[in-house]
Structure 1
């Protein structure tokens, strides 16, 4: 009898994790297990109805995670930012890593970010949403647990998740704070490219020749200026789409983040598509596909 290859997913009812669960369900190779603080929630019940294992576990309670992760071959981990009330991102990450190591998890995938503080020699030091993820990534590396990290750029789904694409009297406008029109940005289609990257790692991590352990993989769908993205969006929607730099928000961690990203043209220098992930069998999506499949259906007339 074959043993189920269980992949426990943190954030399975959220943005990134739900996309990974969907992909795992389709493989026939891996069994997704959703780690949920409330297995009785409506979102958890919907997962159960689709045949997903839902197990109670709180990322701020290591003991609950030890119970939740037993029998898991791998983990896909998303940590929530400390600025969300009641969350401490570093504690979350350490608990996930410690529990995974204790129960014998063989491979750990972490979604993370680079250090803005280090990249700017301390110029921008208040971006806690980046630095906490860096701390978790360092803790994971020091743990000795076989792992890989996915570094993520701006989410294309922010068109509707954070209302960056809005209807105007003459068409649509993309509005982003503190981002000059001449600076490029790195973009990611979360729903397609995060699970594709995760599956590429899961399918190959047992092969030492692939040299996956400990590596960081930027997952970038495209890199372009916002006016260029507006032009592509205009073509997809058949309507005028403009871009507006709305200026500083007054929130330091947000303004510094956009200042850093705009000053470094989206930061990530890995060729697009990332050749290391392509070599593992990943097929990247495109902005054009995203616009045709997601934006046109949501915003088109």
Structure 2
């Protein structure tokens, strides 16, 4: 195996696992999964695939120092800690993310990729201040950029895989429905085929970060496979599945941080309108983006065909 170790957080989730699988297949890097419980079923499954699994708790920096030692690079991410807490109010993603950055710097990591999100508060000029999970990731991104390590951040749109992972594509008497709060049928959203575009991007960044002509360090890369309306997504899904697929505006959730997330995405067309689709900076690094149609045919159709029949 390669001596170029890439430590991966979230290795049992959608992003992290896709990155681990891509690293295994590529062969130029060796993935190391950083997990809180190395004896969980998901962790044991990674071990069975030949992945090194190491214990590390994001809220315990010293455990991360031990876990990251020997890593050339890190793919870092955090997941939401419930209930959401602002800085100083208790354990949160901000503490977790800063701990990963600090530990990586302490052990001499050469390159750090952070799965981040933009500040909705800044984008909206203060109109939507309550999406704390966005704000904390964005604050860690700025902290990483000031760390002195070579770094890059990625921003993702709505996961297309949420069709089944969050049960967004729901069965109806006639076919399926996509129900999203606060969106009108014509409001555009940024969509990311996470298991396709994220690992392709991570590999491209790892292969090129040492080349100063690529100007990677300090940059943020939106990863968007398509920016279309939910009515367009429903129409494409209907064509792929061969049954009626509708879109409806779901009721508000009643949770300010979630409702403001949906409201801001609807108002600002998925948040990433400043970057063409596909991202030309990533295309220049060799990243190939799959289309919505490819996603529907290869990933969605096999999963939902049995519900159609």
User: Which residue of structure 2 lines up, in the alignment, with residue 17 of structure 1?
Assistant: 16
d(CA) in 2 for partners of 1:183, 1:3: 46
Unpaired runs of 5+ in structure 1? none
Residue 285 of structure 2 is aligned with which of 277, 280, 283?
A: 280
Secondary structure at the aligned position of 2:31 is classed as strand
User: Which residue of structure 1 lines up, in the alignment, with residue 128 of structure 2?
Assistant: 124
**Shift of residue 3 of structure 1?**
6.3
**Shift of residue 80 of structure 1?**
1.5
Secondary structure at the aligned position of 2:146 is classed as helix
d(CA) in 2 for partners of 1:129, 1:7: 25
Residue 171 of structure 1 is aligned with which of 145, 168, 175?
A: 175
**Shift of residue 84 of structure 1?**
5.2
d(CA) in 2 for partners of 1:234, 1:215: 37
d(CA) in 2 for partners of 1:268, 1:56: 35
- Work out whether 1:233 is the aligned partner of 2:232: no
d(CA) in 1 for partners of 2:261, 2:189: 12
User: Which residue of structure 2 lines up, in the alignment, with residue 208 of structure 1?
Assistant: 212
1:40-119 map, 5 Å = 40-83=39-82, 87-119=91-123
d(CA) in 1 for partners of 2:270, 2:224: 10
Secondary structure at the aligned position of 2:232 is classed as helix
User: Which residue of structure 2 lines up, in the alignment, with residue 291 of structure 1?
Assistant: 296
When the two chains are superposed, the root-mean-square deviation of aligned CA atoms in Å is: 1.3
- Work out whether 1:133 is the aligned partner of 2:137: yes
User: Which residue of structure 2 lines up, in the alignment, with residue 156 of structure 1?
Assistant: 160
User: Which residue of structure 2 lines up, in the alignment, with residue 218 of structure 1?
Assistant: 222
**Shift of residue 247 of structure 1?**
3.0
**Shift of residue 257 of structure 1?**
1.0
Q: What TM-score, normalized by structure 2, do the two folds share?
A: 0.95
Q: How many residues align?
A: 300
Secondary structure at the aligned position of 1:72 is classed as coil
Secondary structure at the aligned position of 2:178 is classed as strand
1:91-132 Cα offsets, whole Å, 9 max, x none, are 111110001001000000001111110111111100001001
**Shift of residue 236 of structure 1?**
0.4
User: Which residue of structure 1 lines up, in the alignment, with residue 87 of structure 2?
Assistant: none
Secondary structure at the aligned position of 1:187 is classed as strand
d(CA) in 2 for partners of 1:182, 1:47: 41
1:198-225 Cα offsets, whole Å, 9 max, x none, are 1110010000000000000000010100
Residue 146 of structure 2 is aligned with which of 142, 147, 150?
A: 142
When structure 1 is superposed on structure 2, of 163-172 and 83-92 the one drifting more is 83-92
1:19-54 Cα offsets, whole Å, 9 max, x none, are 100000000100000001111111111111110000
Residue 266 of structure 1 is aligned with which of 266, 270, 285?
A: 270
Indicate conservation of the 8 Å contact 2:181/2:252, yes or no. Answer: yes
Q: What TM-score, normalized by structure 1, do the two folds share?
A: 0.97
d(CA) in 2 for partners of 1:206, 1:149: 16
Indicate conservation of the 8 Å contact 2:2/2:30, yes or no. Answer: no
d(CA) in 1 for partners of 2:81, 2:5: 28
Indicate conservation of the 8 Å contact 2:2/2:27, yes or no. Answer: no
1:121-160 Cα offsets, whole Å, 9 max, x none, are 1111000010010111111111111100001111111111
